[in-house]
């Protein structure tokens, strides 16, 4: 076998390395290669300027070695060969040599690895080794296989976890954590993160073999194998149980109000939650000092002490061992098993032990609410809400008393919070729907307008009437969502009727809260645009309560005017029930008044007839369309016709019905 046969491999690819490599001919020239590293260019190579390298090589390694390389069948390494660069500096390299052929002649392939590079390669390797040793010495480490079984741990881990290697190998990742729902959540997150190929880092609580809890700062790292089954996960952990203990102590300090030594609201929430978990019965007493800031201003010069300090001193004297919390500057909570009469006795106690400013007793009074667990409310936030609602009603009645709400008030509060929750869901799932009540044009006998009314049948809490729904939605701000839902539906429906050849105006009810949103006008116009609804088919009903507030807030009227300019009409709903009806007729850009149902219901009385007649005439004299609401009988409609009323709406014409039913009426 000739060398050509043995080394017939293509040499070209070997010349493309990051290190200098070339072909050396036994005649003493360099035939081909790359010597950039030694400052020789390709041109140098072509012009044989690289001769000095060949010379040094020949003198350095000697003819014998050249011979032996040429006759060898395996590559040879030559260490610490000095090579002179074009700039006449010397570099030490390791040569990798192997015989080859070049243009049919014997030749040597030479690869030079500069010693500097070898050193740094070794150094990197060393760094990795150091790092690994460092991790093993300073951290606990556990290696898991792709299924989460423990396949390796280090001494540090065994020491802290009290496991023996024999026992722990083959246990699972999950067995290293305590059994609790919190822990389950964390382990699930860690495991998912690892499986998605990401690193997870954080503080977690773990459990030793003998079920002691300890905290670690954990870094969990996925290591990729050649196949997913070969993936491994490494847990690197630092014991932080001591740090955590300090942290808990700090948190405890942060849970105390420094001025009074009472716990704060965050701590109170925890205390209450655990009392509820343990089913311990108690009264939640919320106390609020009446007119606190006025009193504080007047008596800010109590010598060496503060009003709050003096007040809480009395609280502590009276309620003794009960848990007491400071909620804010002038509001406190007492948790007590004692009966209501005892709690109410605190007011008398305060009178008997007044706080003095000099010789003057500071006239301190309290508004308080007592809410019982579990009879009245069953969660911390409900206890808070109910107590605040109680205080509001105490204040409305003049303050200076501590009361509990009636059973029915609590039931109402609870109902409200359930409605709130379900409403969020209903809005999310677009579970509300719309009914339309027709308005009949008396002159033509035709239905020319409808009022859109919200309807909600909840699968859990049943039908919720608008009279219950709207006030809750207004309070929580969800009215904006209801409003935009109704608007969208109304516009879509008006377009459907229009396309079928019916010009039906659709009225929607609007709450003043919606108009407080500065973008209200803009978003109404956008909805018209989006749905293709002409502006003059949309009518917005506002109540007198709305009008009252709009009067005080110029921004609201501005938005109404923008909409009016675009052709949208406004009507004044429940006309006649408020104080300022006549004023609003002049002030606001309205085109219609809707005489309230109460007047229509009482139309049998002659006085009411005169009143309603007057209302119709007033409306007409101001060029407004007059609509009568709640028309239930033929007699009522006839009277209203006689008065000159323009339109009627009510059960006599139709109850609120679906869009399809309206379509069959028009």
Query: What residues line the site for ligand C2E (CB under 6 A)?
Result: 437, 453-454, 465-467, 470, 482, 486, 509-511, 573-574, 597, 630-632, 650-651, 656
CB within 8 Å of 357: residues ≥ 6 apart: 299, 301, 302
Give the residue with the Cβ less far from Ca ion, 335 or 506: 506
Q: How far is the CB of 610 from ligand C2E (least distance, A)?
A: 22
- Considering the complex, state which of residue 364 and residue 600 has its C-beta at the smaller distance from ligand C2E: 600
Q: Which two tokens stand for residue 265?
A: 């609201």
From the list ligand C2E, Ca ion, none, pick the one residue 531 interacts with, judged by a Cβ distance below 5 to 8 Å according to partner type: none
Residue 553: CB minimum distance to ligand C2E, A: 17
- Among Ca ion, ligand C2E, none, residue 23 binds (CB under 5-8 Å by kind): none
376 binding partner (options ligand C2E, Ca ion, none; Cβ < 5 to 8 Å by kind): none
Phi-psi region of 350 (alpha: psi -120 to 50; beta: other; left: phi over 0): alpha
For residue 195, how many C-alpha atoms fall within 13 Å in the half-sphere facing its CB? Answer: 10
CB of 509 vs Ca ion, minimal distance in Å: 5
660 binds, among Ca ion, ligand C2E, none (CB under 5 to 8 A by kind): none
Q: Which is nearer to ligand C2E, 84 or 591 (CB)?
A: 591
Query: How many CB atoms neighbour CB 509 within 10 A?
Result: 20
Look at residues 74, 73, 112 and name the one whose alpha carbon lies nearest to residue 96.
Answer: 112
Q: How far is the CB of 530 from ligand C2E (least distance, A)?
A: 19
**486 touches, from ligand C2E, Ca ion, none (C-beta below 5 to 8 Å by class):** ligand C2E
Nearer to ligand C2E, 35 or 631 (CB): 631
In whole angstroms, how close is the CB of 546 to Ca ion at the nearest point? 11
Question: In Å, how far are 43, 244, 274, 460 from 185, measured between CA atoms?
Answer: 67, 20, 21, 29
**Nearest distance from C-beta of residue 486 to ligand C2E, angstroms:** 4
Q: In the complex, what is the shortest distance from the CB of residue 511 to ligand C2E, in angstroms, rounded to a whole number?
A: 4
CB 543, min distance to Ca ion, A? 7
With a CB cutoff of 8 Å and minimum separation 6, the contacts of 121 are: none
Q: Which residue lies nearer to ligand C2E by CB, 101 or 509?
A: 509
- Partner in contact with 44, chosen from ligand C2E, Ca ion, none, beta carbon below 5 to 8 Å by kind: none
Judge contact between 325 and 333, C-beta under 8 A.
yes
Report the nearest approach of ligand C2E to the CB of residue 584 (Å).
Answer: 16
C-beta separation of 31 from 24 below 8 A? yes
Please enumerate in sequence order all residues whose Cβ is within 8 A of that of 268, keeping only pairs 6 or more positions apart, or say none.
323, 325, 327, 333, 335, 380
Q: Which is nearer to Ca ion, 287 or 487 (CB)?
A: 487
Whole-number Cα distances in Å, 524 to 437, 473, 488, 515, 572? 22, 19, 9, 11, 19
Q: Which helix (H) or strand (E) holds 439?
A: strand 433-441
Q: With CB cut-offs between 5 and 8 Å by kind, which of Ca ion, ligand C2E, none does residue 511 bind?
A: ligand C2E
Helix axes 606-621, 634-643, angle to 10 degrees: 50
Based on CB atoms, which residue is closest to ligand C2E, 153 or 439? 439
Contacting positions for Ca ion (CB under 5 A): 509, 541, 573-574
Which residue lies nearer to ligand C2E by CB, 95 or 464?
A: 464
Q: With CB cut-offs between 5 and 8 Å by kind, which of ligand C2E, Ca ion, none does residue 400 bind? A: none
Question: In angstroms, rounded to a whole number, what is the distance separating the alpha carbons of residues 350 and 342?
Answer: 13
Nearer to ligand C2E, 454 or 569 (CB): 454
Which does residue 466 touch among ligand C2E, Ca ion, none (CB within 5 to 8 A, set by kind)? ligand C2E
Query: Is the distance from CB of 495 to CB of 456 less than 8 angstroms?
Result: no
> Tokens 């110029």 correspond to what residue?
554
């Amino acid at each position: 076998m000739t060398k050509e046969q043995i080394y017939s491999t293509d040499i070209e690819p070997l010349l493309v390395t990051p290190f200098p490599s070339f072909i050396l001919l036994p005649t003493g020239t360099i035939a081909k290669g790359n010597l950039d590293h030694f400052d020789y260019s390709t041109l140098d190579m072509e012009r044989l300027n690289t001769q000095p390298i060949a010379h040094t090589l020949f003198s350095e390694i000697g003819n014998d070695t050249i011979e032996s390389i040429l006759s060898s069948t395996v590559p040879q390494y030559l260490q610490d060969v000095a090579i002179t660069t074009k700039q006449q500096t010397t570099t030490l390299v390791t040569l990798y040599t192997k015989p080859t052929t070049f243009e049919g002649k014997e030749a040597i392939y030479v690869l030079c690895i500069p010693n500097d590079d070898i050193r740094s390669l070794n150094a990197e390797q060393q760094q990795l080794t150091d790092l690994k040793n460092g991790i093993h010495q300073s951290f606990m480490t556990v290696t898991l296989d792709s299924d989460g079984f423990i396949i390796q741990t280090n001494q540090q881990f065994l020491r802290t976890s009290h496991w023996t290697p024999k026992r722990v190998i083959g246990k699972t990742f999950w067995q290293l954590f305590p059994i609790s729902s919190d822990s389950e959540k964390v382990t699930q997150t860690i495991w998912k993160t690892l499986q998605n190929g990401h690193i997870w880092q954080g503080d977690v609580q773990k459990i030793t073999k003998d079920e002691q809890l300890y905290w670690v700062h954990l870094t969990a790292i996925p290591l990729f194998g050649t196949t997913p089954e070969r993936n491994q996960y490494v847990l690197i952990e630092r014991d932080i149980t001591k740090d955590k203990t300090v942290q808990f102590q700090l948190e405890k300090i942060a849970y105390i109000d420094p001025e009074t030594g009472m716990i704060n609201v965050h701590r109170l929430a925890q205390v209450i939650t655990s009392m509820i978990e343990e089913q311990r019965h108690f009264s939640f007493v919320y106390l609020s000092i009446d007119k606190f800031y006025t009193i504080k201003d007047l008596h800010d010069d109590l010598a060496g002490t503060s009003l709050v300090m003096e007040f809480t001193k009395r609280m502590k004297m009276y309620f003794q061992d009960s848990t007491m919390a400071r909620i804010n500057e002038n509001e406190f909570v007492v948790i007590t098993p004692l009966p209501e009469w005892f709690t109410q006795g605190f007011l008398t106690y305060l009178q008997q032990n007044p706080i003095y400013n000099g010789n003057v007793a500071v006239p301190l009074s309290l508004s308080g609410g007592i809410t019982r667990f579990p009879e009245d409310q069953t969660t911390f936030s409900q206890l808070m809400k109910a107590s605040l609602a109680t205080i509001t009603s105490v204040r409305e009645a003049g303050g200076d008393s501590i009361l509990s709400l009636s059973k029915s008030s609590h039931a109402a509060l609870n109902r409200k919070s359930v409605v709130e929750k379900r409403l969020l869901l209903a809005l999310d799932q677009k579970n509300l729907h719309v009914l339309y009540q027709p308005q009949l044009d008396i002159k033509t006998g035709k239905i020319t307008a409808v009022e859109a009314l919200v309807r909600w049948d909840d699968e859990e809490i049943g039908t919720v009437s608008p009279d219950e729904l709207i006030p809750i939605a207004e309070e929580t701000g969800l009215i904006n969502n209801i409003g935009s839902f109704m608007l969208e539906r109304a516009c879509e429906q008006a377009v459907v009727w229009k396309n079928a050849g019916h010009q039906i105006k659709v009225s929607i009810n609007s709450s003043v809260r919606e108009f407080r949103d500065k973008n209200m006008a803009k978003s109404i116009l956008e909805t018209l645009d989006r749905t293709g609804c002409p502006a003059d088919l949309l009518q917005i009903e506002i109540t007198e309560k709305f009008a009252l507030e709009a009067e005080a807030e110029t921004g609201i009227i501005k938005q109404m005017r923008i909409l009016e300019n675009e052709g949208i009409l406004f009507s004044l709903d429940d006309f006649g029930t408020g104080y300022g009806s006549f004023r609003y007729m002049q002030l606001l850009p309205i085109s219609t008044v809707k005489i309230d149902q109460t007047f229509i219901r009482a139309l049998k009385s002659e006085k009411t007839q005169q009143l309603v007649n007057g209302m119709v005439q007033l409306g007409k004299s101001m060029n407004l369309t007059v609509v009568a609401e709640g028309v239930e009988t033929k007699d009522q409609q006839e009277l209203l016709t006689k008065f000159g009323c323009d339109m009627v709406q009510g059960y006599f014409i139709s109850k609120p019905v679906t869009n399809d039913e309206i379509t069959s009426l028009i």
